[in-house]
Structure 1
Amino acid sequence: MTEVTKQQRNEPPWPKPLPYTANILHRLARGWKTWLGLLNEWDFRIPIGEINILGLPVFLINDPPLVRRILVDEVENFPKHPYTLWILEPLIGRAIFSVNGEEWQWQRRLIDQAFQVAKLNRVFPSMAGATEDFIKRLHEHKSQQPIDIDAEMTLVTADVIMRTILSRPLSEGESKKIFLAFSRYQRKAGRALVLRFLNLPKSLIQINLKNDAKIIRDWIHIAIKERLKKHAEGDETSSTSMDLLDCLIMANDPETKRKFSEKQLVDQICFLFLAGHETSASSLGVATWLLALYQDIQQKLREEVLLVSAGKPVQEQLEQVEIRKLNYCSAIFNETLRLYPPVSFFIRERIKTDTNFFVSGEKSKCPLGALLTLSPWVIQRHENHWEDPQVFKPERFLKTKESRWVKEAFLPFGIGPRKCPGAAFAQQEAVLVLAELVRNFKVSPAKGHIPNLTGRLTLRSSNGIKLLLQKV
């Protein structure tokens, strides 16, 4: 099938799975630059895949009932794999994302308490302010020159999370330094997992991660020390002006009476800042690229935005009540998350001795210590779960016959008790940014450019996402 025909069928380009190989070293070599290289074409057709990597049993779980069992029903029997902590520890310490058991439970209670105070309606002005500056930057760009929308989305989402956490915008000097450090960390972390599969010592490989992690942690630690000093001096913060950092400082676990220490605050803010902007930047960059590829979908979105805004001048930003009415925009974002999930792999460890997997009457032994991989990238493109799984079809996230799979085989934010607490935040931010973008511009592909999507800690394009902007 030609690329033109694929485009007509709304099948956007994607890194195709490679042919099956039984050679483990060959497979690891494919995963050196991108974790997507560890997959093969059969993974998108089977319910469970099994492989042994130098003595480590590895399962790829594609069956939705088994996914639910691992992430929801028996979550304590399948904790985060130690590799998750090991790869991220230099950067986020022992933050909520990578720990298990009681340590995770008390952290989640404090995080939930903070998020309950920092509700969506309270953070919307921060989102709106960052989005307004984003649109102004785009207007300053020369329309005949391609723009790297991936870089722009990285900046606006980092600005949003900076204003939400610290009540101030992100400066240009800060952004360059931090983005470069995190980009290096991503690249090194992707390779570190492969080296760990080869049984290289944890301590040796982590040394290579710590330098870039220190740049980010030191930057965040300075802001936290300044805020803690204000709290210690009795600088009262009103309940209406508290940002997320204030909420985390003041959060108190009702069960243990514990609060976050200074180091634990650094861990949590590092995680929230990087997760809050990195995953959103990934999905928003790809969503804009898809709108450029499919002009009919872009025009339909523009018509929805104009209808909801009811003739409001483009200089006046959309309000939160208007954002909530943009159902087609939400569907576009969700379909982007389905085809290009920012976090493409979750890994879990089997710690219960009597665990077996059953699929279609067949039993698969799951040894103690096995690494279980649950891949949104695979499950959300799996031919058993979706009609035309490679097709970009936002309508499937409106009320359709595919609603079952939307519920059971759609997990960009995870599911169960460890589902991302910032999912609603990300949805609101994405709809606002995309809506304001199409109100102001028509986006088109840059001639000859196709993003080179690479799976590391998150899914990003190694050559950016180049698009053309035309004011409307």
Structure 2
Amino acid sequence: MIPPKPRARSDRVSLWRYVRLFRQDILSAQPARLYRAWMAEFRTPFFRSYLVNQPDLVRLVLKDRPQDFPKSDRIGEGLRPLLGNSVFLTNGATWQRQRRIIDPAFEGGRLRDTYGQMWAAACAARDRLAARAGEEVEIEEVTSHAAADVIFRTLFSIPIEDSIASAVFHEFRAYQRTQPILNLAAFVPLPSWMPRFFRRDTRAAAARIRGLITQLTERRMAEIAAGTAPDDLATKIMTTADPETGDRFSTEEMVDQVAIFFLAGHETSASALAWALYLMALYPDWQDRVASEAQALSRGDFAEAAKLKISRDVFRETLRLYPPVPMMVRETSCPERFRDRDVPRGAQVVLSPWHLHRHERLWDNPDGFDPARWASENGRTCARDAFIPFSAGARVCTGAGFAMVEGTLLLSLLLRDLRVAPAEGRVPEPVAHLTVRARDGIALRITRR
């Protein structure tokens, strides 16, 4: 049995047909040859883009010379109304300053400090889902709720039931269906006169979300000033000074960062966990192995997380098949030469975890679900050369370790006490919204173990 993926298009389509397909979904618009090509050039009278799958070129862009391939400003055309000047969008000295302030909050022992809040959110999610045993459940809604609870508990020490946290969550649920992580202008640089295909209400929804986040940030600023702030991620970031300048984030800067923490720490985790649960429904033998391993979970002790090896491999395989962020865009700052082709300055370089993780010339059984692959020679090689769910190099997601612990814990604790099965006649179709989601949701039947 092969997990679902979008049907690839024929290798040749007209520009205008491609634009129409892209507006429907970025994944199904791509030609089948991208799953076996080392590089593809998209050339029209208006633009050139280069999708890169060859591991040494991916390494060059992300690890060897990241300063020569900054993030494309075109990404901000769609996301800047929500994310402002956040670390996800900035480059150069601004980005370096932001990372110097943010990174200490996610180092070593801080992950141990957040584990208790993750455990509390996981238990709450299990209890909510257990109350619906015997029902058919839209699981993306459940995982979105659980991931939002994790981020609010670890960032601001408040549960999802907090009035502002709840309002942010519900606004974001509506927003994420209106805005793709990559708009057409990001993937194929359109001339300035061509429309960007944004929904009218996207900017207004982003403003509402930012207004709510501003309330949380100002409230925490006041608590810090009064000496009553809890020792959580928000307090750590707000009180950390740039070691080079001594500056701290202003309220507006912190709102930008909280917006991306919520996107990266909630939306991506919700996507990955939903697909992981669906895969467990498709493969009940692996589900039982995860559930059996999870019997060791008992007290929310961080030391238990190291024992979740099967769950970790299942979650990693989910990230391979359904990377939450399917494509990333960089821009050349100087002329390059890739595979005997001249790549001009200002060209878009597209790195696609979606295609790289399923590349037919790199992976054994690329479209199959096989958590055991990570112990094989091919799996270990590809893990190093062709697996970038959190990006790689200097711009690797600062919360990558956080996300792996969160995903394996939630998956383990839910399946320890509950069983999931596919809803009859419902096969989800992956599409790219803010992250890789199912076009019509993921329906699972829930029972108690």
TM-score range for the pair, normalised by the shorter chain length = over 0.9
Moved over 4 A (4+): 172-177, 200-208
For residue 294 of structure 1, the aligned residue among 274, 279, 283 is 283
Q: Deviation of residue 203 (structure 1)?
A: 9.7
* Residue 18 in structure 1 maps to residue 9 in structure 2: yes
Query: Match of 1:166?
Result: 156
**Aligned partners of 2:236, 2:181: CA distance in 1, in Å?**
36
Question: Counterpart amino acid of 1:338?
Answer: R
Q: Deviation of residue 305 (structure 1)?
A: 2.3
RMSD: 2.1
Post-superposition CA distance 1:92-138 (Å, at most 9, x none): 10100111001100100001123238711100111011111111111
Question: Counterpart amino acid of 2:364?
Answer: E
Alpha carbons of structure 1 residues 23 and 198: separation in structure 2 relative to 1, 3 Å: farther
How does 1:436-447 map onto structure 2 within 5 Å?
Answer: 436-447=413-424
* Residue 320 in structure 1 maps to residue 328 in structure 2: no
Q: Deviation of residue 324 (structure 1)?
A: 1.1
**Aligned partners of 2:437, 2:356: CA distance in 1, in Å?**
19
Q: Deviation of residue 52 (structure 1)?
A: 2.0
For residue 293 of structure 2, the aligned residue among 300, 304, 319 is 304
* Residue 193 in structure 1 maps to residue 186 in structure 2: no
**Aligned partners of 2:440, 2:166: CA distance in 1, in Å?**
17
Does structure 1 conserve the Cα–Cα contact (< 8 Å) formed by 2:152 and 2:165? no
Query: Match of 2:131?
Result: 140
* Residue 224 in structure 1 maps to residue 214 in structure 2: no
Does structure 1 conserve the Cα–Cα contact (< 8 Å) formed by 2:118 and 2:406? yes
Alpha carbons of structure 1 residues 399 and 42: separation in structure 2 relative to 1, 3 Å: closer
Which deviates more from structure 2 when the two are superposed, residues 48-57 or residues 336-345? 48-57
Query: Match of 1:45?
Result: 36
Alpha carbons of structure 1 residues 171 and 435: separation in structure 2 relative to 1, 3 Å: same
Query: Match of 1:214?
Result: 207
Post-superposition CA distance 1:196-248 (Å, at most 9, x none): 7363478995975310101110111001111112233x3254xxx41111111
Structure 1: stretches of 5+ with no match in the other structure: 1-6, 310-315
Question: Counterpart amino acid of 2:220?
Answer: R
**Aligned partners of 2:238, 2:205: CA distance in 1, in Å?**
26
**Aligned partners of 2:415, 2:129: CA distance in 1, in Å?**
12
**Aligned partners of 1:225, 1:204: CA distance in 2, in Å?**
34
Query: Match of 1:82?
Result: 73
Which deviates more from structure 2 when the two are superposed, residues 215-224 or residues 167-176? 167-176
Query: Match of 1:249?
Result: 238
Question: Counterpart amino acid of 2:137?
Answer: I
Task: Give the TM-score normalised by the residue count of structure 1.
Answer: 0.90
Alpha carbons of structure 1 residues 271 and 339: separation in structure 2 relative to 1, 3 Å: same
Does structure 2 conserve the Cα–Cα contact (< 8 Å) formed by 1:381 and 1:390? yes
Alpha carbons of structure 1 residues 399 and 389: separation in structure 2 relative to 1, 3 Å: closer
Alpha carbons of structure 1 residues 137 and 199: separation in structure 2 relative to 1, 3 Å: same
Number of aligned positions between the proteins: 446
Query: Match of 1:3?
Result: none
Question: Counterpart amino acid of 2:154?
Answer: T
Query: Match of 2:112?
Result: 121
Alpha carbons of structure 1 residues 465 and 173: separation in structure 2 relative to 1, 3 Å: farther
**Aligned partners of 1:246, 1:176: CA distance in 2, in Å?**
20
Query: Match of 1:366?
Result: 343
Query: Match of 1:357?
Result: 338
**Aligned partners of 1:429, 1:376: CA distance in 2, in Å?**
21
Question: Counterpart amino acid of 1:420?
Answer: C
**Aligned partners of 1:153, 1:205: CA distance in 2, in Å?**
27
For residue 449 of structure 1, the aligned residue among 413, 420, 426 is 426
Q: Deviation of residue 187 (structure 1)?
A: 4.0
Question: Counterpart amino acid of 2:420?
Answer: V
Question: Counterpart amino acid of 1:305?
Answer: A
* Residue 402 in structure 1 maps to residue 379 in structure 2: yes
Q: Deviation of residue 320 (structure 1)?
A: 2.1
**Aligned partners of 2:113, 2:328: CA distance in 1, in Å?**
31
* Residue 73 in structure 1 maps to residue 64 in structure 2: yes
Question: Counterpart amino acid of 2:184?
Answer: V
For residue 152 of structure 1, the aligned residue among 137, 142, 157 is 142
Question: Counterpart amino acid of 1:349?
Answer: E
Query: Match of 1:416?
Result: 393
Which deviates more from structure 2 when the two are superposed, residues 132-141 or residues 408-417? 132-141
Does structure 2 conserve the Cα–Cα contact (< 8 Å) formed by 1:340 and 1:377? yes
Post-superposition CA distance 1:445-472 (Å, at most 9, x none): 1101111221133111131111111111
Alpha carbons of structure 1 residues 344 and 154: separation in structure 2 relative to 1, 3 Å: same
